[in-house]
């Protein structure tokens, strides 16, 4: 595919750390492989975008709509105590928005999750149950 096509390619590090749930109108929705926290990423399917302010106005508005949609689904699926939402990108330059379900009993609370403790693998079936619960809320409505 031509480099001029604007084709979207997920950053290899994001691909390695996640499993895909599906695509919204703008963003790919991913789950981070860390059972410490139900932790989603939204990645707008646009190439060469590093910052929120690099998106066109209409795309940024759409991203906020999708952040809210995903945050509501995650809160409903997990009955979490708090949502953490962030676009950092210091390590992986491709724009990605973290939507994280926090509990006051989780491994990092009340600190942010980044770098707090090593990732923990999901138990058998635990990840699929979470994925299904979120997918049902995002796409079966």
- Reference 74, options 141, 136, 134; nearest CA is 134
Name the 3-class secondary structure at 132: helix
Q: Quick check: 112 binds a second copy (CB under 8 A)?
A: yes
Reference 42, options 58, 21, 61, 56; nearest CA is: 21
CA distance 44 to 62: 10
CB of 87 to a second copy, least distance (A): 5
The Cα 40–Cα 73 span in angstroms is: 11
Give the binding range for a second copy (CB under 8 A) out of 23-31, 35-43, 45-53, 120-128: 45-53
* 109 lines the binding site for a second copy (CB under 8 A): yes
| 72 binds a second copy per the rule CB under 8 A | yes
Torsion of CA 114, 116, 122, 127, to 10 degrees: -30
90 sits near a second copy (criterion: CB under 8 A): yes
Q: By CB under 8 A, tell whether 118 contacts a second copy.
A: no
Q: Binder to a second copy among 10, 87, 107, 131 (CB under 8 A)? A: 87
Contacts with a second copy, residue ranges (CB under 8 A): 50-53, 57, 60-61, 63-65, 67-68, 71-72, 75, 82-91, 102, 109-112, 114-115
């Amino acid at each position: 595919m031509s480099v001029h096509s604007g084709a979207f390619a997920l950053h290899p590090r994001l691909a390695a750390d996640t499993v895909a749930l599906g695509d919204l109108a703008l963003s790919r929705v991913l789950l981070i492989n860390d059972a410490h926290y139900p932790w989603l990423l939204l990645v707008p399917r646009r190439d060469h975008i590093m910052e929120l302010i690099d998106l066109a106005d209409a795309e940024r508005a759409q991203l906020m709509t999708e952040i809210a949609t995903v945050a509501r689904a995650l809160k409903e699926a997990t009955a979490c105590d708090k949502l953490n939402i962030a676009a950092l990108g210091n390590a992986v330059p491709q724009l990605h928005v973290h939507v994280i379900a926090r509990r006051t009993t989780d491994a990092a609370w009340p600190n942010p999750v980044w770098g707090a403790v090593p990732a923990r693998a999901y138990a058998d079936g635990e990840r699929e149950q979470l994925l299904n619960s979120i997918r049902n809320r995002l796409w079966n409505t």
